Amino acid sequence: MEREVFSATIRSFRNRIPFRPFTVALVNGDRYEVDRPEILAVGEGIAVLIAPGGVPVFFEPEGVNQVIGDLSGHGTQTS
């Protein structure tokens, strides 16, 4: 995923009001659900998720395949 698209997409999902969970799918097949906005920090070209057990998971643009969720209210995906 392109760096600018990555940051904008992650921020758009995290900042939705009301917040709705979404999934970050990595190129290696791993998937991480973001079920609360406060567990995700986003910088320029990187995001950090605090996974269960307090384990940090780092997302970089080249490692993210797609972000799955509903941004438009119609069940769409962003990749």
Report which DSSP code applies to 70: -
pTM assigned to the model: 0.83
Per-residue pLDDT of the chain in tens (79 residues, 90 and over written 9)? 888 899 999 999 999 999 999 999 999 999 999 999 999 999 988 999 999 999 999 999 999 999 999 765 544 444 4
Query: What ranges make up the beta strands (E) of 1-79?
Result: 22-26, 31-34, 40-43, 46-51, 55-59, 64-68, 77-78
- Residue 67, token pair as written in the block: 């972000």
Give CA 9 to chain center in angstroms: 7
Q: Return the CATH class of domain 3-78.
A: mainly beta
